[in-house]
Structure 1
Amino acid sequence: MSKRKELEQAQNGRGQDDGEGSDDEDFDMLDVEFEWFDPLPEIDFHGIKTLLQQLFDVDAHMLDLSAVTNLILEQPLLGSTVKVDGKETDAYAFLSVINLHEHREKPFIQTLVQYLRGKANSNPALASLAELLSQSPIPAIGLVLTERLINVPAETVPPMYTMLMEEIQWALEEKEPYQFSHYLILSKTYTEVASALDEEDDRPKKKKKTASRELETMYFHPEDEVLQRHALCYGGYNYSTPQDEGASDSRRAFQELGIKPQSYAILIEASKFEGAIKEVAEYIQTPT
Protein backbone atom coordinates (compact mmCIF):
# COMPACT_ATOMS: atom_id res chain seq x y z
CA MET A 1 0.00 0.00 0.00
CA SER A 2 1.09 3.56 -0.55
CA LYS A 3 2.20 5.85 2.22
CA ARG A 4 -0.68 8.28 2.21
CA LYS A 5 -2.37 8.45 -1.15
CA GLU A 6 -2.12 7.64 -4.84
CA LEU A 7 -2.06 9.89 -7.87
CA GLU A 8 -3.09 8.64 -11.27
CA GLN A 9 -1.36 10.65 -13.94
CA ALA A 10 -1.85 10.52 -17.71
CA GLN A 11 1.67 10.95 -19.02
CA ASN A 12 0.66 11.44 -22.67
CA GLY A 13 -2.55 12.70 -24.23
CA ARG A 14 -4.34 11.89 -27.47
CA GLY A 15 -4.90 14.77 -29.89
CA GLN A 16 -8.56 15.57 -30.42
CA ASP A 17 -9.88 16.34 -33.87
CA ASP A 18 -12.00 19.42 -33.31
CA GLY A 19 -12.40 20.24 -36.97
CA GLU A 20 -10.36 22.18 -39.47
CA GLY A 21 -6.92 23.31 -38.43
CA SER A 22 -6.27 20.42 -36.06
CA ASP A 23 -3.49 18.01 -36.84
CA ASP A 24 -4.08 14.32 -37.21
CA GLU A 25 -1.32 13.08 -34.91
CA ASP A 26 -2.31 10.35 -32.50
CA PHE A 27 -0.59 9.92 -29.17
CA ASP A 28 -0.65 6.78 -27.06
CA MET A 29 -2.23 7.06 -23.63
CA LEU A 30 -0.23 5.93 -20.62
CA ASP A 31 -1.87 5.96 -17.21
CA VAL A 32 0.67 5.96 -14.40
CA GLU A 33 -0.26 5.52 -10.76
CA PHE A 34 2.21 7.20 -8.41
CA GLU A 35 2.49 6.03 -4.81
CA TRP A 36 4.12 7.64 -1.78
CA PHE A 37 6.18 5.56 0.65
CA ASP A 38 8.36 6.05 3.70
CA PRO A 39 12.06 5.78 2.80
CA LEU A 40 13.06 2.12 3.10
CA PRO A 41 16.72 1.51 4.13
CA GLU A 42 16.85 -1.96 2.57
CA ILE A 43 15.52 -0.75 -0.81
CA ASP A 44 16.02 2.96 -1.41
CA PHE A 45 19.77 3.57 -1.07
CA HIS A 46 20.56 3.35 -4.79
CA GLY A 47 17.52 5.31 -5.96
CA ILE A 48 17.94 8.19 -3.50
CA LYS A 49 21.70 8.44 -4.05
CA THR A 50 21.16 8.58 -7.81
CA LEU A 51 18.67 11.42 -7.38
CA LEU A 52 21.11 13.26 -5.09
CA GLN A 53 23.78 12.92 -7.76
CA GLN A 54 21.34 14.44 -10.23
CA LEU A 55 20.63 17.30 -7.81
CA PHE A 56 24.29 18.19 -7.25
CA ASP A 57 25.16 17.52 -10.90
CA VAL A 58 28.86 17.81 -11.77
CA ASP A 59 29.76 18.71 -8.15
CA ALA A 60 28.33 15.45 -6.79
CA HIS A 61 31.82 13.93 -6.53
CA MET A 62 32.83 16.67 -4.06
CA LEU A 63 30.37 15.43 -1.45
CA ASP A 64 29.90 12.13 0.37
CA LEU A 65 26.45 11.41 -1.02
CA SER A 66 26.54 7.82 0.20
CA ALA A 67 26.73 9.12 3.78
CA VAL A 68 24.00 11.70 3.08
CA THR A 69 21.79 8.95 1.68
CA ASN A 70 22.36 6.75 4.72
CA LEU A 71 21.45 9.66 7.00
CA ILE A 72 18.19 10.17 5.10
CA LEU A 73 17.44 6.46 5.46
CA GLU A 74 18.20 6.55 9.19
CA GLN A 75 15.11 8.72 9.66
CA PRO A 76 12.56 6.62 7.75
CA LEU A 77 9.52 8.21 9.39
CA LEU A 78 10.46 11.59 7.96
CA GLY A 79 10.23 12.26 4.25
CA SER A 80 8.83 10.41 1.27
CA THR A 81 9.67 8.55 -1.88
CA VAL A 82 7.47 8.42 -4.98
CA LYS A 83 7.28 5.16 -6.92
CA VAL A 84 5.25 3.55 -9.67
CA ASP A 85 5.53 -0.23 -9.40
CA GLY A 86 5.35 -0.77 -5.65
CA LYS A 87 7.71 -0.22 -2.75
CA GLU A 88 10.30 -2.73 -3.97
CA THR A 89 11.31 -0.48 -6.90
CA ASP A 90 13.63 2.53 -7.12
CA ALA A 91 12.23 5.95 -6.27
CA TYR A 92 11.20 8.28 -9.09
CA ALA A 93 11.27 11.19 -6.63
CA PHE A 94 12.06 11.82 -2.98
CA LEU A 95 11.95 14.55 -0.34
CA SER A 96 13.56 14.64 3.08
CA VAL A 97 15.06 17.12 5.56
CA ILE A 98 18.30 17.02 7.54
CA ASN A 99 18.99 19.03 10.70
CA LEU A 100 22.35 20.67 10.02
CA HIS A 101 22.78 21.61 13.70
CA GLU A 102 22.01 18.14 15.03
CA HIS A 103 24.51 16.50 12.67
CA ARG A 104 27.12 19.29 12.66
CA GLU A 105 29.89 17.04 14.02
CA LYS A 106 29.64 14.53 11.19
CA PRO A 107 32.52 15.06 8.72
CA PHE A 108 30.33 14.69 5.62
CA ILE A 109 27.91 17.31 6.94
CA GLN A 110 30.81 19.65 7.68
CA THR A 111 31.99 19.20 4.09
CA LEU A 112 28.48 19.87 2.79
CA VAL A 113 28.10 22.99 4.93
CA GLN A 114 31.50 24.27 3.83
CA TYR A 115 30.52 23.72 0.21
CA LEU A 116 27.21 25.55 0.63
CA ARG A 117 28.82 28.40 2.58
CA GLY A 118 31.31 28.95 -0.21
CA LYS A 119 28.53 29.01 -2.78
CA ALA A 120 26.44 31.41 -0.71
CA ASN A 121 29.43 33.74 -0.42
CA SER A 122 29.71 33.78 -4.22
CA ASN A 123 26.32 35.47 -4.65
CA PRO A 124 25.45 38.69 -2.75
CA ALA A 125 21.76 37.72 -2.97
CA LEU A 126 22.56 34.81 -0.63
CA ALA A 127 24.29 36.94 2.04
CA SER A 128 21.75 35.94 4.71
CA LEU A 129 22.40 32.28 4.02
CA ALA A 130 26.17 32.77 4.11
CA GLU A 131 25.86 34.49 7.50
CA LEU A 132 23.79 31.63 8.95
CA LEU A 133 26.15 28.96 7.65
CA SER A 134 29.12 30.84 9.12
CA GLN A 135 27.75 30.79 12.68
CA SER A 136 29.31 28.47 15.25
CA PRO A 137 27.56 26.34 16.12
CA ILE A 138 25.45 26.30 12.99
CA PRO A 139 21.75 27.07 13.71
CA ALA A 140 19.01 24.46 13.43
CA ILE A 141 18.62 24.78 9.68
CA GLY A 142 16.48 22.15 8.03
CA LEU A 143 18.22 21.22 4.79
CA VAL A 144 15.47 20.13 2.40
CA LEU A 145 16.77 17.65 -0.16
CA THR A 146 14.38 16.79 -2.95
CA GLU A 147 14.73 15.69 -6.54
CA ARG A 148 12.76 13.80 -9.17
CA LEU A 149 13.26 12.29 -12.57
CA ILE A 150 12.64 14.80 -15.33
CA ASN A 151 9.39 13.19 -16.52
CA VAL A 152 7.80 13.00 -13.06
CA PRO A 153 4.94 15.54 -12.90
CA ALA A 154 5.00 18.46 -10.47
CA GLU A 155 1.70 17.21 -9.00
CA THR A 156 3.70 14.70 -6.96
CA VAL A 157 5.36 17.52 -5.02
CA PRO A 158 2.62 19.10 -2.83
CA PRO A 159 1.77 15.80 -1.07
CA MET A 160 5.44 15.28 -0.21
CA TYR A 161 5.72 18.72 1.37
CA THR A 162 2.38 18.41 3.15
CA MET A 163 3.35 15.04 4.60
CA LEU A 164 6.72 16.43 5.66
CA MET A 165 5.02 19.17 7.68
CA GLU A 166 2.78 16.58 9.35
CA GLU A 167 5.72 14.30 10.12
CA ILE A 168 7.77 17.14 11.60
CA GLN A 169 4.86 17.99 13.90
CA TRP A 170 4.58 14.36 15.00
CA ALA A 171 8.33 14.23 15.57
CA LEU A 172 8.23 17.37 17.72
CA GLU A 173 5.50 15.83 19.84
CA GLU A 174 7.91 12.95 20.45
CA LYS A 175 10.69 15.41 21.40
CA GLU A 176 12.68 14.63 18.26
CA PRO A 177 15.20 17.29 17.05
CA TYR A 178 13.21 18.86 14.24
CA GLN A 179 12.54 22.34 15.61
CA PHE A 180 14.05 24.40 12.82
CA SER A 181 14.84 28.09 12.60
CA HIS A 182 15.01 28.05 8.80
CA TYR A 183 14.49 25.72 5.87
CA LEU A 184 17.10 25.63 3.12
CA ILE A 185 15.85 24.13 -0.15
CA LEU A 186 18.41 23.14 -2.77
CA SER A 187 17.31 23.01 -6.37
CA LYS A 188 18.48 23.73 -9.93
CA THR A 189 17.79 26.24 -12.67
CA TYR A 190 19.01 26.44 -16.22
CA THR A 191 19.87 29.11 -18.73
CA GLU A 192 19.60 28.74 -22.46
CA VAL A 193 22.94 29.70 -23.99
CA ALA A 194 24.11 30.29 -27.52
CA SER A 195 25.31 27.08 -29.09
CA ALA A 196 28.98 26.59 -29.87
CA LEU A 197 27.88 24.49 -32.82
CA ASP A 198 26.10 27.46 -34.33
CA GLU A 199 29.20 29.61 -33.94
CA GLU A 200 31.08 27.11 -36.08
CA ASP A 201 28.34 27.01 -38.68
CA ASP A 202 28.09 29.63 -41.41
CA ARG A 203 24.47 30.61 -40.79
CA PRO A 204 24.46 34.38 -40.13
CA LYS A 205 20.69 34.69 -40.06
CA LYS A 206 20.35 32.07 -37.35
CA LYS A 207 23.22 33.54 -35.36
CA LYS A 208 21.60 36.94 -35.51
CA LYS A 209 18.32 35.50 -34.28
CA THR A 210 20.03 33.73 -31.37
CA ALA A 211 22.05 36.77 -30.38
CA SER A 212 19.01 39.04 -30.33
CA ARG A 213 17.01 36.70 -28.13
CA GLU A 214 17.08 37.52 -24.44
CA LEU A 215 18.39 34.55 -22.49
CA GLU A 216 16.49 33.93 -19.27
CA THR A 217 16.89 31.68 -16.27
CA MET A 218 14.26 28.96 -16.00
CA TYR A 219 13.30 26.46 -13.34
CA PHE A 220 13.57 22.69 -13.45
CA HIS A 221 11.05 22.66 -10.57
CA PRO A 222 8.06 25.01 -11.05
CA GLU A 223 7.34 25.05 -7.31
CA ASP A 224 10.55 27.03 -6.76
CA GLU A 225 8.88 30.12 -8.21
CA VAL A 226 6.32 29.92 -5.41
CA LEU A 227 8.73 29.03 -2.62
CA GLN A 228 11.01 31.98 -3.34
CA ARG A 229 8.13 34.41 -2.81
CA HIS A 230 8.29 33.47 0.88
CA ALA A 231 12.08 33.41 1.11
CA LEU A 232 14.45 35.37 3.27
CA CYS A 233 16.85 35.07 0.36
CA TYR A 234 17.29 33.03 -2.80
CA GLY A 235 19.69 32.84 -5.69
CA GLY A 236 21.85 30.69 -7.93
CA TYR A 237 25.49 29.77 -8.03
CA ASN A 238 27.80 28.04 -10.46
CA TYR A 239 29.29 24.60 -10.03
CA SER A 240 32.88 24.27 -8.89
CA THR A 241 33.69 21.50 -11.35
CA PRO A 242 34.65 22.81 -14.80
CA GLN A 243 32.44 21.53 -17.59
CA ASP A 244 33.80 20.46 -20.92
CA GLU A 245 33.43 22.87 -23.80
CA GLY A 246 30.25 21.99 -25.60
CA ALA A 247 28.59 20.50 -22.51
CA SER A 248 25.59 22.78 -22.99
CA ASP A 249 25.20 21.50 -26.55
CA SER A 250 25.05 17.91 -25.31
CA ARG A 251 21.98 18.87 -23.29
CA ARG A 252 20.06 20.46 -26.13
CA ALA A 253 17.47 18.51 -28.07
CA PHE A 254 15.48 19.76 -31.06
CA GLN A 255 16.20 23.41 -30.25
CA GLU A 256 18.57 26.15 -31.28
CA LEU A 257 20.10 26.89 -27.89
CA GLY A 258 22.15 24.85 -25.48
CA ILE A 259 21.33 24.48 -21.79
CA LYS A 260 23.57 25.53 -18.91
CA PRO A 261 22.39 24.25 -15.49
CA GLN A 262 23.10 26.06 -12.25
CA SER A 263 22.48 25.25 -8.59
CA TYR A 264 19.85 27.26 -6.73
CA ALA A 265 19.17 27.86 -3.04
CA ILE A 266 16.02 29.10 -1.31
CA LEU A 267 16.15 30.04 2.40
CA ILE A 268 12.81 30.34 4.20
CA GLU A 269 12.25 31.24 7.85
CA ALA A 270 10.47 28.44 9.69
CA SER A 271 7.52 30.70 10.55
CA LYS A 272 6.81 31.20 6.83
CA PHE A 273 7.38 27.66 5.62
CA GLU A 274 3.87 26.34 6.17
CA GLY A 275 2.37 29.26 4.24
CA ALA A 276 4.81 28.62 1.41
CA ILE A 277 3.79 24.95 1.24
CA LYS A 278 0.11 25.84 1.16
CA GLU A 279 0.69 28.20 -1.75
CA VAL A 280 2.64 25.49 -3.59
CA ALA A 281 -0.34 23.16 -3.20
CA GLU A 282 -2.66 25.85 -4.58
CA TYR A 283 -0.31 26.61 -7.48
CA ILE A 284 0.18 22.98 -8.45
CA GLN A 285 -3.29 21.50 -8.37
CA THR A 286 -3.21 17.77 -7.58
CA PRO A 287 -5.80 15.70 -9.45
CA THR A 288 -8.36 14.04 -7.19
Structure 2
Amino acid sequence: MAKRKVIEDERKGEAESAESSSEESSSEDDADMLDVEFEWFDPQPQHDFHGLKTLLRQLFDVDAQLFDLSALTELILAQPLLGSTVKVEGNETDPYAFLTVLNLHEHREWPVIQQLTNYIQTQANRVPAIAQLGTLLNTSDNTRVGLVLTEKLINIPSEVVPPMYNMLLEEISWAIEEKEPYEFTHYLIFSKTYQEVVSALDEEDAPKQKKQKKAGNKGNAETFYFHPEDEVLHKYAAAFGSFEYQNEARESDSKRAFQELGMKPEGHLILIEAARFEEAVKSLQEYFNQG
Protein backbone atom coordinates (compact mmCIF):
# COMPACT_ATOMS: atom_id res chain seq x y z
CA MET A 1 0.00 0.00 0.00
CA ALA A 2 1.34 3.41 -0.86
CA LYS A 3 2.19 5.68 2.02
CA ARG A 4 -0.45 8.24 2.93
CA LYS A 5 1.88 11.06 3.78
CA VAL A 6 5.58 11.38 4.31
CA ILE A 7 6.83 14.08 6.63
CA GLU A 8 10.56 14.46 6.80
CA ASP A 9 11.95 15.56 10.13
CA GLU A 10 15.69 15.95 10.42
CA ARG A 11 16.62 15.32 14.02
CA LYS A 12 20.05 15.96 15.40
CA GLY A 13 21.49 13.21 17.56
CA GLU A 14 24.92 12.73 19.01
CA ALA A 15 27.01 9.75 17.96
CA GLU A 16 30.33 8.84 19.45
CA SER A 17 33.35 9.43 17.23
CA ALA A 18 35.10 6.28 16.06
CA GLU A 19 38.58 7.76 16.06
CA SER A 20 41.41 5.36 16.80
CA SER A 21 43.81 8.06 17.93
CA SER A 22 45.47 7.48 21.31
CA GLU A 23 45.19 11.15 22.19
CA GLU A 24 43.00 11.71 25.26
CA SER A 25 41.07 14.70 23.96
CA SER A 26 37.57 15.74 25.00
CA SER A 27 34.88 13.39 23.66
CA GLU A 28 32.52 16.37 23.27
CA ASP A 29 34.84 17.93 20.70
CA ASP A 30 35.03 14.66 18.79
CA ALA A 31 31.30 14.00 18.67
CA ASP A 32 29.69 13.68 15.25
CA MET A 33 26.18 14.75 14.36
CA LEU A 34 23.83 12.27 12.69
CA ASP A 35 20.83 13.35 10.59
CA VAL A 36 17.85 11.01 10.84
CA GLU A 37 14.92 11.30 8.45
CA PHE A 38 11.62 10.17 9.96
CA GLU A 39 8.74 9.10 7.75
CA TRP A 40 5.08 8.69 8.72
CA PHE A 41 3.15 5.82 7.12
CA ASP A 42 -0.22 4.15 7.24
CA PRO A 43 -0.03 0.81 9.10
CA GLN A 44 1.22 -1.82 6.67
CA PRO A 45 -0.46 -5.24 7.22
CA GLN A 46 2.21 -6.99 5.17
CA HIS A 47 5.17 -5.46 7.02
CA ASP A 48 4.23 -4.16 10.48
CA PHE A 49 2.86 -7.12 12.42
CA HIS A 50 5.98 -8.03 14.40
CA GLY A 51 7.08 -4.42 14.95
CA LEU A 52 3.67 -3.35 16.24
CA LYS A 53 3.39 -6.39 18.49
CA THR A 54 6.77 -5.56 20.01
CA LEU A 55 5.71 -1.97 20.69
CA LEU A 56 2.44 -3.15 22.25
CA ARG A 57 4.38 -5.50 24.52
CA GLN A 58 6.51 -2.55 25.59
CA LEU A 59 3.42 -0.38 26.21
CA PHE A 60 1.65 -2.92 28.44
CA ASP A 61 4.89 -3.84 30.23
CA VAL A 62 4.58 -6.75 32.70
CA ASP A 63 0.83 -7.05 32.08
CA ALA A 64 1.28 -7.64 28.35
CA GLN A 65 0.89 -11.38 28.88
CA LEU A 66 -2.70 -10.80 29.99
CA PHE A 67 -3.74 -9.86 26.45
CA ASP A 68 -3.76 -11.60 23.09
CA LEU A 69 -1.27 -9.21 21.50
CA SER A 70 -1.39 -11.04 18.18
CA ALA A 71 -5.14 -10.46 17.92
CA LEU A 72 -4.75 -6.84 19.02
CA THR A 73 -2.09 -6.26 16.38
CA GLU A 74 -4.32 -7.80 13.72
CA LEU A 75 -7.17 -5.51 14.77
CA ILE A 76 -4.93 -2.45 14.45
CA LEU A 77 -3.77 -3.57 11.01
CA ALA A 78 -7.38 -4.24 9.95
CA GLN A 79 -7.95 -0.47 9.85
CA PRO A 80 -4.90 0.59 7.78
CA LEU A 81 -6.27 4.04 6.89
CA LEU A 82 -6.52 5.05 10.55
CA GLY A 83 -3.42 5.61 12.62
CA SER A 84 0.25 6.01 11.78
CA THR A 85 3.65 4.43 12.11
CA VAL A 86 7.04 6.12 12.15
CA LYS A 87 9.95 4.62 10.24
CA VAL A 88 13.39 5.71 9.14
CA GLU A 89 14.30 3.42 6.25
CA GLY A 90 11.17 3.19 4.17
CA ASN A 91 7.81 1.48 3.96
CA GLU A 92 8.94 -2.14 4.35
CA THR A 93 10.92 -1.72 7.60
CA ASP A 94 9.75 -2.16 11.18
CA PRO A 95 8.01 0.81 12.82
CA TYR A 96 9.87 2.74 15.50
CA ALA A 97 6.64 4.31 16.80
CA PHE A 98 2.92 4.03 16.22
CA LEU A 99 -0.41 5.57 17.18
CA THR A 100 -3.92 4.29 16.60
CA VAL A 101 -7.44 4.43 18.04
CA LEU A 102 -9.84 1.52 18.54
CA ASN A 103 -13.61 1.78 18.97
CA LEU A 104 -14.26 -0.18 22.16
CA HIS A 105 -18.00 -0.37 21.45
CA GLU A 106 -17.75 -1.33 17.77
CA HIS A 107 -15.22 -4.09 18.51
CA ARG A 108 -16.76 -5.21 21.82
CA GLU A 109 -17.24 -8.77 20.53
CA TRP A 110 -13.51 -9.23 19.97
CA PRO A 111 -12.09 -11.29 22.88
CA VAL A 112 -8.99 -9.07 23.07
CA ILE A 113 -11.17 -5.94 23.40
CA GLN A 114 -13.12 -7.67 26.14
CA GLN A 115 -9.80 -8.44 27.85
CA LEU A 116 -8.71 -4.81 27.61
CA THR A 117 -12.05 -3.38 28.70
CA ASN A 118 -12.31 -5.67 31.73
CA TYR A 119 -8.71 -4.91 32.63
CA ILE A 120 -9.22 -1.13 32.45
CA GLN A 121 -12.43 -1.34 34.49
CA THR A 122 -10.69 -3.42 37.15
CA GLN A 123 -7.76 -1.04 37.44
CA ALA A 124 -9.98 2.06 37.40
CA ASN A 125 -12.08 0.72 40.27
CA ARG A 126 -8.94 0.69 42.41
CA VAL A 127 -8.00 4.33 41.70
CA PRO A 128 -10.52 7.00 42.77
CA ALA A 129 -9.22 9.54 40.23
CA ILE A 130 -10.29 7.34 37.31
CA ALA A 131 -13.13 5.38 38.94
CA GLN A 132 -15.66 6.85 36.49
CA LEU A 133 -14.18 4.65 33.75
CA GLY A 134 -15.90 1.65 35.28
CA THR A 135 -19.29 3.10 34.34
CA LEU A 136 -18.18 4.81 31.15
CA LEU A 137 -17.00 1.55 29.59
CA ASN A 138 -20.30 -0.17 30.25
CA THR A 139 -21.59 -0.93 26.76
CA SER A 140 -25.16 -0.29 27.84
CA ASP A 141 -24.42 3.42 28.16
CA ASN A 142 -24.70 5.84 25.24
CA THR A 143 -20.97 6.41 25.09
CA ARG A 144 -18.44 5.65 22.39
CA VAL A 145 -14.93 5.45 23.74
CA GLY A 146 -11.95 5.50 21.43
CA LEU A 147 -8.97 3.72 22.99
CA VAL A 148 -5.78 5.48 21.90
CA LEU A 149 -2.69 3.27 21.87
CA THR A 150 0.68 4.81 21.16
CA GLU A 151 4.26 3.79 21.86
CA LYS A 152 7.76 4.46 20.56
CA LEU A 153 11.19 2.99 21.04
CA ILE A 154 12.98 4.65 23.93
CA ASN A 155 15.62 6.42 21.83
CA ILE A 156 13.08 7.97 19.44
CA PRO A 157 12.41 11.68 20.16
CA SER A 158 8.97 12.63 21.44
CA GLU A 159 8.62 15.18 18.64
CA VAL A 160 7.43 12.38 16.34
CA VAL A 161 4.23 12.07 18.40
CA PRO A 162 2.31 15.33 17.65
CA PRO A 163 2.21 14.70 13.87
CA MET A 164 0.63 11.29 14.53
CA TYR A 165 -2.08 12.92 16.64
CA ASN A 166 -2.65 15.58 13.97
CA MET A 167 -3.03 12.92 11.29
CA LEU A 168 -5.38 10.96 13.53
CA LEU A 169 -7.70 13.97 13.76
CA GLU A 170 -7.76 14.27 9.96
CA GLU A 171 -8.37 10.57 9.49
CA ILE A 172 -11.21 10.50 12.01
CA SER A 173 -12.81 13.48 10.25
CA TRP A 174 -12.59 11.68 6.88
CA ALA A 175 -13.93 8.46 8.41
CA ILE A 176 -16.95 10.25 9.91
CA GLU A 177 -17.71 11.80 6.52
CA GLU A 178 -17.78 8.26 5.12
CA LYS A 179 -20.19 7.19 7.92
CA GLU A 180 -17.59 4.95 9.52
CA PRO A 181 -17.84 4.27 13.29
CA TYR A 182 -15.33 6.77 14.63
CA GLU A 183 -17.58 9.45 16.11
CA PHE A 184 -16.47 9.18 19.71
CA THR A 185 -17.79 10.78 22.87
CA HIS A 186 -14.50 10.21 24.71
CA TYR A 187 -10.89 9.32 24.03
CA LEU A 188 -9.07 7.09 26.48
CA ILE A 189 -5.29 7.13 26.20
CA PHE A 190 -3.43 4.13 27.60
CA SER A 191 0.04 5.13 28.73
CA LYS A 192 2.66 4.36 31.37
CA THR A 193 4.56 6.15 34.13
CA TYR A 194 7.19 5.23 36.67
CA GLN A 195 8.42 6.10 40.12
CA GLU A 196 11.95 5.95 41.42
CA VAL A 197 12.39 3.34 44.14
CA VAL A 198 15.21 2.19 46.34
CA SER A 199 17.09 -0.78 44.95
CA ALA A 200 16.29 -4.07 46.67
CA LEU A 201 20.03 -4.69 46.99
CA ASP A 202 20.54 -1.33 48.69
CA GLU A 203 17.67 -2.00 51.09
CA GLU A 204 19.25 -5.28 52.16
CA ASP A 205 22.43 -3.46 53.18
CA ALA A 206 20.77 -0.38 54.68
CA PRO A 207 20.29 0.01 58.46
CA LYS A 208 16.78 -0.82 59.67
CA GLN A 209 16.05 2.78 60.73
CA LYS A 210 17.01 4.13 57.31
CA LYS A 211 14.83 1.55 55.54
CA GLN A 212 11.84 2.49 57.65
CA LYS A 213 12.34 6.17 56.85
CA LYS A 214 12.48 5.48 53.11
CA ALA A 215 9.44 3.24 53.28
CA GLY A 216 7.51 6.03 54.94
CA ASN A 217 8.21 8.35 52.00
CA LYS A 218 6.87 6.00 49.31
CA GLY A 219 3.45 7.65 49.37
CA ASN A 220 5.02 10.95 48.30
CA ALA A 221 7.03 9.52 45.42
CA GLU A 222 7.24 11.72 42.33
CA THR A 223 5.69 10.41 39.13
CA PHE A 224 7.77 10.44 35.93
CA TYR A 225 6.44 9.99 32.41
CA PHE A 226 7.65 7.65 29.69
CA HIS A 227 5.47 9.74 27.33
CA PRO A 228 6.19 13.45 27.97
CA GLU A 229 3.07 14.45 26.04
CA ASP A 230 0.93 13.03 28.86
CA GLU A 231 1.54 16.07 31.05
CA VAL A 232 0.12 18.30 28.30
CA LEU A 233 -2.89 16.04 27.79
CA HIS A 234 -3.65 16.17 31.51
CA LYS A 235 -4.68 19.83 31.14
CA TYR A 236 -7.61 18.77 28.94
CA ALA A 237 -8.52 15.55 30.73
CA ALA A 238 -11.79 14.77 32.45
CA ALA A 239 -9.81 12.29 34.55
CA PHE A 240 -6.35 10.74 34.70
CA GLY A 241 -4.42 8.50 37.03
CA SER A 242 -1.82 5.78 37.40
CA PHE A 243 -2.33 2.24 38.62
CA GLU A 244 -0.16 -0.65 39.70
CA TYR A 245 0.23 -3.47 37.23
CA GLN A 246 -1.65 -6.66 37.96
CA ASN A 247 1.52 -8.72 37.62
CA GLU A 248 4.16 -7.79 40.12
CA ALA A 249 7.01 -5.99 38.38
CA ARG A 250 10.59 -7.08 38.97
CA GLU A 251 11.51 -3.46 38.76
CA SER A 252 14.06 -2.39 41.27
CA ASP A 253 17.33 -3.83 39.98
CA SER A 254 16.52 -5.16 36.51
CA LYS A 255 15.55 -1.63 35.43
CA ARG A 256 18.14 0.22 37.43
CA ALA A 257 19.94 1.30 34.24
CA PHE A 258 23.13 2.81 35.60
CA GLN A 259 21.42 5.03 38.17
CA GLU A 260 21.29 4.97 41.94
CA LEU A 261 17.56 4.36 42.17
CA GLY A 262 15.49 1.66 40.51
CA MET A 263 12.26 2.18 38.57
CA LYS A 264 8.76 1.03 39.37
CA PRO A 265 6.64 1.24 36.17
CA GLU A 266 2.89 1.72 36.37
CA GLY A 267 0.02 1.91 33.93
CA HIS A 268 -1.57 5.28 33.25
CA LEU A 269 -4.96 6.29 31.83
CA ILE A 270 -6.05 9.68 30.48
CA LEU A 271 -9.71 10.33 29.65
CA ILE A 272 -10.50 13.29 27.37
CA GLU A 273 -13.97 14.28 26.20
CA ALA A 274 -14.25 14.42 22.43
CA ALA A 275 -15.12 18.13 22.53
CA ARG A 276 -11.67 18.89 23.97
CA PHE A 277 -9.58 16.41 22.04
CA GLU A 278 -8.76 18.67 19.08
CA GLU A 279 -7.68 21.44 21.44
CA ALA A 280 -5.49 18.99 23.32
CA VAL A 281 -3.80 17.84 20.10
CA LYS A 282 -3.14 21.44 19.08
CA SER A 283 -1.46 22.07 22.43
CA LEU A 284 0.83 19.09 21.90
CA GLN A 285 2.21 20.63 18.73
CA GLU A 286 2.69 24.01 20.41
CA TYR A 287 4.40 22.43 23.39
CA PHE A 288 7.00 20.53 21.36
CA ASN A 289 7.55 23.47 19.01
CA GLN A 290 8.46 25.59 22.03
CA GLY A 291 10.77 22.86 23.27
Give 1:33 shift.
0.8
The yes-or-no answer on 1:83 pairing with 2:93 is no
Equivalent residues of 1:198, 1:207 under 8 A apart = no
Q: 1:82 and 1:286, CA in 2 relative to 1: closer, same or farther beyond 3 A?
A: farther
The yes-or-no answer on 1:32 pairing with 2:36 is yes
Q: 1:208 and 1:132, CA in 2 relative to 1: closer, same or farther beyond 3 A?
A: closer
Per the alignment, residue 146 of structure 2 pairs with: 142
Give 1:127 shift.
1.7
Equivalent residues of 1:101, 1:137 under 8 A apart = no
Equivalent residues of 2:249, 2:265 under 8 A apart = no
Equivalent residues of 2:40, 2:87 under 8 A apart = yes
Percent identity, aligned pairs only, is 61
1:93-113 Cα shifts (integer Å, max 9, x gaps): 000000011111222211110
Give 1:201 shift.
3.3
Q: Which amino acid aligns with 2:125?
A: N
Give 1:209 shift.
11
Q: Once superposed, what is the RMSD of the aligned Cα atoms? A: 2.5
The yes-or-no answer on 1:228 pairing with 2:230 is no
Q: Distance in 2 between matches of 1:203 and 1:82?
A: 49
Give 1:91 shift.
0.4
Q: Distance in 1 between matches of 2:8 and 2:127?
A: 40
Matches within 5 A, 1:184-223: 184-201=188-205, 215-223=221-229
Per the alignment, residue 253 of structure 2 pairs with: 249
Q: Which amino acid aligns with 2:228?
A: P
1:162-191 Cα shifts (integer Å, max 9, x gaps): 000001001111111100000000000000
Q: Distance in 2 between matches of 1:63 and 1:210?
A: 35
The yes-or-no answer on 1:95 pairing with 2:95 is no
Q: 1:100 and 1:2, CA in 2 relative to 1: closer, same or farther beyond 3 A?
A: closer
Give 1:136 shift.
2.0
Q: Distance in 2 between matches of 1:277 and 1:13?
A: 32
Unaligned runs of 5+ in 2: 17-24
1:56-79 Cα shifts (integer Å, max 9, x gaps): 011111111111111110110100
Per the alignment, residue 59 of structure 1 pairs with: 63
1:12-34 Cα shifts (integer Å, max 9, x gaps): 279xxxxxxxx933223221111
Unaligned runs of 5+ in 1: 15-22
Q: 1:263 and 1:202, CA in 2 relative to 1: closer, same or farther beyond 3 A?
A: closer
Q: Distance in 2 between matches of 1:4 and 1:163?
A: 11
